[in-house]
Amino acid sequence: METIQIHGVKRENFGKKGSKDVRRNGLIPAIVYGGQEEAVHFALDEKELKPLLYTPNSYIVELDIDGTKQLAVLREVQFHPVKDNPIHIDFFRVLPGRPVAIDVPIRIVGNSEGVKLGGKLTVQKRKLRVSGLVEYLPDYLEIDITNLAIGKSIFVGDLKYDNLTLLTPATTSVCAVIMTRAARGAAAAASK
């Protein structure tokens, strides 16, 4: 999985007042926690976050807080209810030898038999939550739809990946091929 670097400045004042002061200075309050180490409160520039937030991809984040580097994953982002800009970020530390849970985007490959017969491919999930060691985390999860017929779906329980555990519920539909009106009309005309 790709790594993205984000630079931050440690902050001493936390709580509502401390966060407001940070935002007033044009920065976003953030925290990194997890493992045996103490949580670290820091502030970062919104420009640093754009490549991480506004993309369909998932990344391992290399945080550089006042020269101290550590790996983390994005856990939660809180957005302003009106302006829709980020107002607080939570990161979770990546520990060596311990699995990490992260949402990984899917990539559909193949040409479905159902689509060839006039069906329409619908994708219900764009990302799946997986758990695994950092060295085994892929940039995307490949899903082959070549044998997917009209009226059939691919569920999370149908998928298997080496060195990864799927955390998304097994009954969740990832994609399906549905019958279109044109395909129904063609089927009805063929049966007459």
Task: Cite the beta strand spans of the chain per DSSP E.
Answer: 3-10, 27-33, 40-45, 60-65, 68-79, 86-93, 100-109, 120-123, 127-132, 141-144, 153-155, 165-166, 173-178
Per-residue pLDDT tens digits of the chain, which is 192 residues long? 889 999 999 988 777 888 888 888 889 999 999 888 889 999 999 888 888 988 889 999 999 998 889 999 999 999 999 988 899 999 999 988 899 999 999 999 999 998 888 889 999 999 999 999 999 999 999 999 999 998 899 999 999 999 999 999 999 999 999 988 776 776 677 777
